[in-house]
A and B are shown apart, each in its own frame.
Chain A
Amino acid sequence: MKNKIYSLKKIVDFLFVIIILLFLVYVIFDVRNIQNTLYKVETEKIETTLNNELNTINPMLKFGFYDSLKQELNNLLKEKSVLLIELKSKNFNFKKQKLKPKYLLIKKLIYKNEELGFIKIGYTDDFLIKTFFKKYFVKFIIYLAIVLPVLLYIFMFLRKKISKLNTLANVVKNINFKKHSKIELIGNYFEIINITNAINRLLNQINTFYLNQLKLIRKLTSYKKYLESSQKIAEMFSWQYDCENKTFSSQNIKKISNLEIQDINEFINSIINKKDFLNKIDYICRHNEELEDIFTIVNKQNKKMYFKIFAKHFKQKDKDIIIGSALNITEEIKKQEKIEYLAYHDVLTGLPNRALLKKELKTIMAFHKRHKKKFAFMFLDIDNFKMINDNFGHERGDKLIKEIAKRLTNILRESDLVARVGGDEFVIVITEIKNKEDCLVVYDKLKKVLTKPIKILDDVDVSVTFSLGISIFPDDTEDIEELFQYSDIAMYNAKNNGKDQYSFITEELKKQIKEYYEIVEEIKEALKKDNELILYFQPKINIHENKIEGCEALIRWKHHLKGMIPPGKFIPYVEKGGLSTKLDSYVLQKAVETLSKWQTNKKLKDLVIAINITAGKFKEENFVDELKSLINKYKINPTKLQIEITESIGIKHIDYTIATLKQIKELDIQIAIDDFGTGYSSLNYIKDIPFDVLKIDQSFIKDLFKDSSNKFITQMIIQIAKVLNKITIAEGVEDEKTLKEVKEMGVDIVQGYYFSKPLDEKKFIDYVYNFEKTQ
């Protein structure tokens, strides 16, 4: 059905005209009706009159009273409405007419069943109508005078109101919602105000919506730009596939650099496994699925490029389509390949690293196991490489390593394997050997090749020797880790035996390894216990005030079976077994516990306990938190705890060191720089590091009188400490002469066997109590 739009104004006009017309029609019909009624009234009246008159006329006619009859008829004619009277009878006739009558009424004159004649009366209702309509007209005028103005007023009012609505509609039509959020009120009618308010509310909402949309569009445009830029940066393009027509389309494929393909179809054609790709696309179309896969293409330069293709099925207007994207991941793939390469290869030499070695070993082992064959696992370490590094620098050292790697690669068979597993450590796998003698052949070859001078500087040639540890698969072991361990220990054995030689793994060496692991396990167990690893305390004496300033806590192992084991015996196992940090934590806790105990003792409460912290512990992220936690737990005076770190720890990562030491200082813990003088500390660093005590390495003190440079260095260290306003401690003071010397030099505190060796807690307390007496 079509919508017909009528103007309300026209409808009102039309209604007004209709009302007027209806009114007029009503009036006309009313008048007609009234006229008719009046005619009937008049006729009735005439009939009644005549009927009454007949009662008189008939006897008068019958009995011949013609004069009276005449008079009566004349009287009848006096009636305004009666215009004609005509009486006809046998003996008497009468006819009189005033005007032409409108209507005629004829009656027979009958008296006592005797027909006497007839009487015709002509009459009109004009007078009645005139009289009536005089009144009617007055009423009509009054009615019109009242109703018409009211009607007119309503009409005008409605018209005006509708006009305002039309004006409002025009205003609304011309609104630019982008600029206006409000329209002015154009009338004071309720509806106008109401509609205006509604429009204003709507406008406001539209305006807000528009502004939001505008923001959104700007954002979207911006995002689109970003997306395009991102796609460009990310080397990405989008594409579409029409499942029905089997056609591809793309608008931004040209943005991919190095692709030099202008068209998506060209791109599809350049996919190496195009058939597979198209099959997958077809499958997605049919099964409403998704695809995420990497495809390789060959560009115009005949170079491989990798694209990660995402594709998803969509329904668009009942049409099956696939929307997809293609991300150029060539760089990532290459990087990944490089990363993979780096993960498995030594950067310096390009040789396989330990990881690849292990990976390859599995294959080699499987092969040899299957074919019941043997291979040699050789651990090669360049002798004195550290010295070359120290003397000629790392760059030269690297050059040397590279050359060695090259020579190793050159002399080995294709089936053999060489890997770099450490700074100067190489592993050589000689496959399919028959016996140990085959290894010696290889050793000779190696010796021949590697001992040839290597030019590391224009005028410097170096000849290197190496130590070789050998283990045989499967004779010695069938386990990868054990192959490493056995060869390693055999190599150390060769080194211990004077270097520049080889060593096969022996049962004795295997025993040593076993022992090593057993000791490490025992240390781990001891760390869990409370009574095996115990603290010894070596007093620190303030030689100017002649009092015990504190002590250095040193760990001792009181083995439950083997008895006291000196630190020199088990500390290497601790270090090699990766237990240094655990041992540090153990010592730290024991020292804090001791401080906590001593706090209540008048003689002991002022003593400072120093503990050594290894580099590993110091670098732990939660080291400071651990300190905080212990201080809080045991509620000790933190100024009585001293952390000793070696000069080398501090200098390696100076920023981290400074930041960590500052945090430790904030806890009010004392800091001592241990073994000062042995490293390469620069004054610049030293002045920035927050510390309290400078410990002169005992190597300087012990040889104070042997080497004049030691005295000079010691004096310089003491001067540095004085300048920095730090306390100096001399370690290793073992005789009176040395004590006198360091005292003269200005050392504040001394520590050494002259006063006391490290003592267990009980003996240390006794020492403290007896110190004043002995002095």
Chain B
Amino acid sequence: MVMKKFIIFTLLANILFSFNKDLLILESKLYPKLFMLIDDYDKKSILNIAIYSDKNEKARFIKKLYTSDKLNAVITKKIDKSFDVILLTRKIDNKTLNNLLKLKKPIFTTEKNNVDYSMFGIYIGVRIYPYLNPYLIKKANLKLNPIIFKVAKIYEK
């Protein structure tokens, strides 16, 4: 019975903690370009990315994807103003969101179709394109390069 429970747990865990690597890779190609359209990020020599997550395989995988000459990714749940970009790996509650909004930093989510609690995400439908949540962006008072409005889809409630 125990064994039976273990097996069920393991399967459930696999299901729960499994992640779409392709989606992540896709995002890692797209998001850095969006980073450059926010404020004066394009002028910065390196951007610090906070991967808001526990240190799990997915987070570690994401970190690898966002580590380059221009990007410096850190897996952490303690996020401050030193980070330039916040990258959510899963849904967060409103409280956490409000706290993060106070930092007035762009919040990206790796979850697909998860718009309500991130400023920028990715929409996968017939076409794949980035989307932005103007309400949250406005709350964070971010300056966006107008180009972003051309390439991203506006999220509306």
Contacts and interface: CB of A to CB of B under 8 A. Distances in A.
Contacts of B144: 65, 68
Contacts of A65: 134, 137-138, 144, 146, 149
A48 interface: no
Given A55-B150, A56-B150, A68 B143 contact: yes
B138 A60 contact: no
B154 interface: yes
B10 interface: no
Nearest to A52: B150
Contacts of B148: 68
A75 interface: yes
A63 B138 contact: yes
Contacts of A117: none
Contacts of A56: 146, 149-150
A59 interface: yes
A559 to B, nearest CB: 169
Taking residues whose C-beta sits less than 8 angstroms from the other chain, chain A's interface range is 10 to 19
A393 interface: no
Contact of A59 (B143, B145, B154): B154
A97 interface: no
B150 A68 contact: no
A71 interface: yes
A517 B146 CA distance: 171
Interface residues of B, number: 13
Given A59-B154, A63-B154, A75 B146 contact: yes
A71 B145 contact: yes
B146 A60 contact: yes
B6 to A, nearest CB: 50
A64 interface: yes
Contacts of B134: 59, 62-63, 65
Contacts of A112: 156
Contacts of A64: 138
Interface string A45-85: 00000001001100110111101110110010000000000
Contacts of B149: 55-56, 59-60, 65, 68, 72
A55 B149 CA distance: 8
A112 B137 CA distance: 20
B146 A68 contact: yes
Interface centre among A59, A65, A69 (most CB of B within 10 A): A65
Given A63-B134, A63-B138, A68 B145 contact: yes
B110 to A, nearest CB: 24
A722 to B, nearest CB: 171
A69 B137 CA distance: 15
Give the residue among B134, B137, B144, B149 with the most A Cβ atoms within 10 A: B149
A197 to B, nearest CB: 83
15 contacts: A52-B150, A55-B150, A56-B146, A56-B150, A59-B149, A60-B149, A63-B134, A63-B135, A63-B137, A63-B138, A63-B154, A65-B137, A65-B144, A67-B143, A71-B146
Interface of B: 134-135, 137-138, 143-146, 148-150, 154, 156
Q: Which 3 A-B pairs have the closest CB atoms?
A: A63-B134, A72-B146, A56-B149
